[in-house]
Amino acid sequence: MSLPERIDLDIQWALANDAEQQSLHRALNEELIHASVDAVLNTHHQGDAEMTIRFVDSAESQQLNLAYRGQDKPTNVLSFPSELPDFVASPLLGDLIICHAVVTQEALQQTKSLAAHYQHLIIHGTLHLLGFDHINEADANIMEAHEIAILAQLGIDDPYQVD
């Protein structure tokens, strides 16, 4: 599946460690990334869109998490929505930073497929770029419902379901 022409997706593979890079490519390919982004944008966004997804190591994730969220640890996904003023017409949605080591650890702990966990986080982050959030319970319920519905379209089980 490829993205419609209206969506410009820049994918950056920024893992220096060859073993991590190979692990990431075994679990995730551009087709799965495109399918995840496409599902969100086709459901929740009209018009052109540009975004970047950067896959990073723990050090880069930790550095960015400290600089922008004040937390001195790596995290699974960071979302950086575009901060252009409303009067500037631009399709730029923003950037996602995803830490391979954290995502891998979470998938193992939660006994989830690494590919499915990646797709969930790509969907989660893309929703953030579109303005969805989970700061309060009501917003969290709305965002989770969107995630669950989009994942179901992709044949992925509800990630919030506890066995």
Return all residues near 82 (Cβ < 8 A) that are at least 6 apart: 90, 92, 93, 94, 129
**Per-residue confidence (pLDDT) for residue 1, from 0 to 100:** 43
Write down the domain spans for the chain.
7-153
Q: CATH number for 7-153: choose from 3.30.420.130, 3.30.1490.190, 2.60.40.420, 3.40.390.30.
A: 3.40.390.30
**Per-residue confidence (pLDDT) for residue 85, from 0 to 100:** 84
Mean residue pLDDT of the chain comes to: 91
Smallest CA-to-CA distance from 8 within 40, 44, 38 is with 38
Tell me the two tokens of residue 22: 């190979």
Parts of the chain with a pLDDT under 70: 1-5, 162-163
Do 55 and 64 touch, CB atoms closer than 8 A? no
Q: Quick one: how far is CA 126 from the chain centroid?
A: 6
